Amino acid sequence: MDDRLKLGTEGYSPAMLQKIEYASGNEPSFSQASRALAHLAEVSISPKHLQRLAGRLGEERRQYRDAEVAAHQAKTLQPRHTEPPVVAAVHLDAGKIQMRDDDGPAGVREPHWADTKVACCVTYTPRTGTQDPQPDPPPAFLDRPSVMRLCREMNKVRNAPPTVAEAAQARSSKSGSADEKDIERPERLVRTAVATMQPAEPFGAMAAAEAMRRGFYRAAKQAVLGDGAAWIWNLADQFFPDWVQTLDFLHLLTYLYAAAVNAHRGQANRAWRLYVRLVRAAWSGQAAKVIGLLTAERKRLGDAPQGAPPDDPRCVVAQVLEYVTRNERRMDYAFNRREGLPCTSAPVESLIKQFNQRVKGSEKFWTSHGAEAILQIRAAYLSDDDRAAAHHDRRPRGRAVGANRLRWAA
């Protein structure tokens, strides 16, 4: 009967295991997953047992992911489809998750925050024209109340430790209203997700394997997008050489607004005029002009004295100038628009928010094994392809040897 029902070591059929995994990875907690299964699948499974099953299934997915990484590094991993995409982009970012000590009895010990690394791999519809589809900035970027509200919301979240990554959530939710309507963006086709608790370089190898699996290295147009963090560009140089690197425009916008406000502190109209000049130049891809305007303001203000606080106007303008100079080659947004490439990293920030709906909460403290496992399950169900169900079709079935099963059969 075990053979006929395809029961494995868990004692559940593949169809039931898929329901268990879906509930565990998509409900906000294992307790809610247990209640959902009781109501919808009419099966009673304790939250603790669901946690163990999810850990096992997530570990299987991790092993499969790592096998693909090894195959890619050995140059044996082949794209899943013969026809490569035309436009492909990899968006990279990091989120936050609460952790606890792995060892010892049950309970929260040594609570701390850690990073989750997330890659959003997206294909887009190709453009047919060669002209810039939107040479002028969206009206929302030139509307003073909208810009002030956006920057205030982002900075409020960014400056509230330890939730730096949640600035992405504020930005993506904001750009989901007026900004999204104004910006002409490439239409998304297929999104897949990669997530891990591992350090940056192993994460880069995972993102590269996913890109290879989806044929991104053969795409006609390729881009890597990020918020300006050095670790993102290091991964881009290492794993996606010769791809177009693009600084998230909304991150840049908030930096430019901060520079303008601090360059003319107490003079709102002059600050706004400077911001408009900066954002128009940036939108058109004139990074050198942006650098020139910021350099002039820094010279006018002079250098900050030693020991000046970080919010000193001279420090702020100098920091923004350094940020723009460091990312100058990643600011050709007019080129991106002509080529049908994205200009913002909003897709990965939205994806991180979806991960956080499962893994982040005031009462959620994960072990390293549990966090990695649930991230793999969540990534599978947040991907647009068939990987969530396909895993259950290919996973090997272990011998059904649950408690007392063989004794009963005898």
Domain span including residue 47: 2-77+386-409
Same domain, 292 and 260: yes
Asked if 349 and 174 count as a contact pair (C-beta separation under 8 A), the reply is no
Domains of the chain: total: 2
Same domain, 42 and 130: no
Asked if 186 and 125 count as a contact pair (C-beta separation under 8 A), the reply is yes
Q: Where are the alpha helices (DSSP H) in 74-186?
A: 144-158, 167-174, 180-182
Same domain, 288 and 404: no
Report pLDDT digits (tens) over 396-409.
765 443 444 444 44
Same domain, 268 and 331: yes
Classify residue 238: in a domain, yes or no: yes
Report pLDDT digits (tens) over 220-249.
999 999 999 999 999 999 999 999 999 999
Same domain, 157 and 220: yes
HSE toward the beta carbon, residue 297, CA cutoff 13 A: 30
Same domain, 111 and 199: yes
User: Which of 299, 328, 350 finishes a domain?
Assistant: 350
* Cα–Cα distance, 214 to 120 (Å, whole number): 12
What is the pTM assigned to this prediction? Answer: 0.87
Same domain, 205 and 279: yes
Classify residue 369: in a domain, yes or no: no
With vertex at residue 120, the alpha carbon angle to CA 116 and CA 126, rounded to the nearest 5 degrees, is 165
Same domain, 161 and 228: yes
* Cα–Cα distance, 158 to 261 (Å, whole number): 18
Say which residues have a Cβ less than 8 Å from residue 300's Cβ, sequence separation at least 6: 263
- Determine the residue type at 151: C
* Cα–Cα distance, 155 to 183 (Å, whole number): 22
Report pLDDT digits (tens) over 333-374.
999 999 999 999 999 999 999 999 999 988 899 999 999 999
